[in-house]
Structure 1
Amino acid sequence: MEQAVQVVARIVARSGKEDELRTLLRGLIEPTRREPGCVTYELLQNTTDPTDFTFVEEWSSGADLDAHLQSAHLRNARSRLPELTVADPDIRRYTVVG
């Protein structure tokens, strides 16, 4: 059986674009949680730096995560990121080791 995949995805808003980015990212939560293999999908905002958003995710498999990355709602959101963010999202995949 394939091991679950943990993801930490950090997205940093351009100054003054925090509210627009938050709205865009929050729009991803419900459709993503309905995707096959989505175990956990939480959006966090840094309490001391409001430009700093992080998704903490768990997927049943790498294939489920790959399907998510190709989903229409994620592709649509990513097309808007250049106007709202300072850089490409920092997306990191992990497996639990302990």
Structure 2
Amino acid sequence: MSIGLLASMHCKKDAEGAFDTELKKLVETSKKETGCLACELYQYKDEPTKYVIEEEWIDEEALSRHMETAHYKYFVHISPALLVNPADVKILTRLI
């Protein structure tokens, strides 16, 4: 079965433009990785500073490789300056 990642993020009000740009770059680059089955970005309709990324990877090894990429590490490095709180990241196992 595949493995999922669900990340919720709340960016600072004055960082919306930069955060939106960097997050979209991360998602677009991640979609091109070997083992990425899906990588979707959502924004709360009623709270535009809140985002959710939903990812699906072929297996845990593919997700681990993703977390070692330069684009992922770059985003993790810059995101604390743009976020209200650290991202809430959950790793999920597909059941069906």
Report runs of 4+ in structure 1 exceeding 6 Å deviation. none
Unaligned runs of 5+ in 2: none
Q: Counterpart in 2 of 1:49?
A: 47
Return the match for 1:78 from 76, 82, 89.
76
Unaligned runs of 5+ in 1: none
1:66-86 deviations in Å (ceiling 9; x for gaps):
111111001111111111001
Structure 1 counterpart SS, 2:54: strand
CA RMSD of aligned residues (A): 1.1
TM-score of the two chains, using structure 1 as the length reference: 0.91
Structure 2 counterpart SS, 1:10: strand
Aligned equivalents of 1:48, 1:30: Cα separation in 2 = 24
Aligned equivalents of 1:56, 1:65: Cα separation in 2 = 13
Aligned equivalents of 1:84, 1:25: Cα separation in 2 = 11
* Matched residue count: 96
Please state how far the C-alpha of 1:42 moved relative to its aligned partner: 0.7
TM-score of the two chains, using structure 2 as the length reference: 0.92
